[in-house]
């Protein structure tokens, strides 16, 4: 559903509930569940954090993550200015942080924005996307850590991208009078069933607003929150922040990437075929399909987790031979040399994928040939690239339905079908162009969710001055 067809845009009838700025009353059962949860999560923290610190002797990033989850090194912010309230925008990892771009941009004129993430890659991407914005690690949901986080960051409002609701965090938000909203809300059927198993423990009744992407997600939020009034449909803000929905100024980072990847002298006769956000063993499946279908193409593989890059390169080297062994983007940069068009490129760095999509002729989106649920296929489609993915895309049901109905994407059943479609598109320039234009047009028609989301949030979460 588009933002323009949402109940909010049409002027939904009914009372607008006030923001939740205090803890709602709880019965004895709920109080007991809270205490059991606090004890359970405390035991997990007290037993796992020493293990992470010990593991840091071998992998320092484990110790750094454990310390930052404990709020070590967290800045202590001054209270916000009354005329410029502080809004914490939280995303779990890379996908949610990238989805927040249009929201953060729209808020910055009137609000002080702080961005938080849970994963290392999410923090790194946030630092790239939001220069000048305070970036912090979201705390582990152990009450003493959560309270220290709130005491130091002092947000007046909280926006949770897509979902990511933790009981201690929500309780502390209520206690401190900070309304919480879920924006661009989405919840898969699997996650919905998992939340239902825990009954009232997730405490969705503490959230002032669920701004859902579509009706299917909205229905699940209504069931979990026990409320219709606090759920509205505003669309997917991720679409508003997609790269190259319209023409943009030349990007020096793209030109540097084009040169380093060895794509600056590629003409139309040598296709660039890219696999983005792949999971094991999709790299090997994609390589086999591409070598059979388009043996002369320049192949680029971007694992979903960049730290897998060197392992992926080693694995694929055995199938290619020494003269065609894959190259790592990080190594090319360190050495200041251009990549070879005859050797696959493995991208083991953060924040490159959207730029690379714009340099490709055909894109395969990973997480879909295996039962993972898929990855964001809108990013290449927005840049006018024909998109292929596998059968396992249940986490992006609305997005795939939109692209497939527009003729912008192809769903394949397995590696054999991937080989066939790569070969067909490689030979049909017109088909590639039609698919690319169809994807751009479909996504342009879905924009506007950011405005609808902020209108709903202002009406339901922002108290009059």
> Which residue matches tokens 């059979």?
292
Dig out the tokens for 260 from the structure. Answer: 């380093």
69 vs 83: CA distance, rounded Å: 31
Residues annotated as catalytic are 96
Per the CB < 8 A criterion, the answer to whether 157 and 462 are in contact is: yes
Neighbours of 427 (CB within 10 A): 11
Dig out the tokens for 450 from the structure. Answer: 């950011």
Task: Report DSSP letters for 310-321, one per residue.
Answer: HHHHHHHHHHH-
3-class state of residue 400 by DSSP: helix
Dig out the tokens for 118 from the structure. Answer: 């849970």
Per the CB < 8 A criterion, the answer to whether 221 and 231 are in contact is: yes
- Helix ranges (H only) for 87-214 are 94-99, 101-107, 120-129, 143-153, 167-175, 189-197
268 vs 450: CA distance, rounded Å: 37
> Which residue matches tokens 């490689």?
426
> Which residue matches tokens 């927005």?
382
3-class state of residue 218 by DSSP: helix
Compute the residue count for the chain. 465
Radius of gyration in angstroms for the set of CA atoms belonging to the chain, rounded to a whole number: 23
């Amino acid at each position: 559903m588009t933002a323009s067809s949402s109940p909010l845009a049409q002027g939904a009838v009914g009372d607008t509930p006030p923001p939740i700025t205090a803890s709602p009353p709880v019965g004895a059962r709920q109080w007991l569940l809270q205490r059991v949860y606090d004890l359970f999560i405390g035991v997990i923290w007290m037993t796992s954090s020493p293990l992470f610190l010990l593991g840091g002797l071998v992998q320092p990033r484990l110790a750094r993550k454990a310390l930052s989850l404990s709020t070590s090194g967290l800045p202590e912010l001054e209270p916000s200015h009354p005329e410029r309230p502080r809004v914490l925008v939280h995303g779990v990892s890379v996908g949610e942080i990238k989805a927040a771009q249009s929201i953060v941009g729209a808020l910055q004129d009137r609000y002080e924005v702080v961005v938080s993430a849970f994963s290392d890659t999410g923090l790194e991407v946030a630092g790239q996307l939001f220069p000048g914005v305070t970036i912090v690690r979201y705390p582990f949901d152990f009450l003493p850590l959560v309270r220290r986080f709130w005491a130091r960051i002092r947000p007046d409002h909280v926006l949770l991208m897509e979902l990511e609701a933790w009981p201690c965090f929500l309780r502390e938000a209520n206690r401190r009078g900070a309304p919480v909203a879920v924006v661009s809300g989405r919840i898969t059927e699997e996650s919905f069933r998992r939340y239902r198993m825990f009954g009232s423990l997730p405490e969705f009744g503490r959230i002032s607003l669920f701004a859902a992407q579509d009706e299917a997600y909205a229905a699940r939020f209504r069931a979990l929150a026990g409320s219709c009034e606090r759920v509205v449909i505003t669309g997917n803000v991720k679409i508003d922040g997609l790269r190259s929905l319209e023409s943009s100024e030349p990007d020096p980072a793209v030109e540097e990437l084009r040169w380093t990847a060895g794509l600056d002298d590629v003409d139309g006769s040598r296709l660039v075929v890219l696999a983005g956000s792949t999971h094991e063993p999709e790299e090997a499946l994609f390589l086999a399909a591409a070598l059979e279908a388009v043996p002369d193409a320049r192949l680029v593989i971007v694992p979903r987790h960049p730290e897998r890059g060197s392992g992926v390169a080693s694995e694929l080297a055995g199938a290619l031979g020494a003269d065609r062994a894959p190259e790592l983007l990080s190594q090319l940069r360190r050495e200041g040399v251009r990549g070879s068009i005859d050797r696959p490129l493995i991208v083991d760095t953060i924040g490159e994928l959207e730029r690379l999509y714009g340099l490709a002729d055909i894109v395969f989106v990973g997480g879909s040939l295996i039962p993972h649920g898929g990855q964001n296929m809108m990013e290449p489609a927005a840049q006018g690239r024909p998109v292929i993915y596998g059968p396992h895309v249940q986490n992006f049901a609305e997005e795939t339905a939109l692209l497939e109905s527009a003729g912008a994407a192809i769903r394949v059943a397995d590696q054999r079908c991937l080989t066939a479609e790569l070969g067909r598109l490689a030979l049909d320039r017109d088909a590639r162009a039609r698919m690319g234009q169809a994807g751009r047009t479909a996504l342009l028609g879905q924009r506007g969710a950011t405005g609808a989301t902020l209108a709903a949030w202002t009406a339901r979460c922002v108290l009059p001055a």
